[in-house]
Amino acid sequence: MISLNFIMPVVLFLLTLFFGFWVKALGKPYNGILFNFHKLIALGTVVIAAVQGVGMLKGRDIPSLLIVPMVVLGVCVIALFASGAFLSIGNLDYKIMKATHNVSLVLAIISTAFTIYFLASV
């Protein structure tokens, strides 16, 4: 049942990655249209995944082990949006913001995998 609930967020996540790599390949200054598609698809992914995740948790006891990857995921999502915004503005060190964006992406993927694993076992 979990795989059916997260097909749309996975597809949107892959689209987010596609547009992110496309924006990166074109270089700075970022293409405004592609960059905005990247941001909007990322936002839609987060909203849809959160709504579906909350729906799956309703009426269930949440094990404490599930809270840790969910908090890490939330922090990573915030870091991704913030570092993406700072990358587009360009007023902070590009290398630090790019590293933050990349590390947050990897940690978000790992914490998502743990979250889905723990959701499947609940």
Sketch the domain layout of the chain as residue ranges. 2-121
Residue 53 clears pLDDT 60, i.e. is over it: yes
| Segment 65-114, tens digit of pLDDT | 788 898 999 999 999 999 998 988 888 888 999 999 999 999 999 998 88
Q: How high is the mean pLDDT of the chain?
A: 86
Secondary structure of residue 63 in the 3-state scheme: coil
Query: Rounded distance, CA 59 to CA 11, Å?
Result: 27
Nearest to 105 by CA among 52, 29, 38: 38
**pLDDT of the residue at 88:** 84
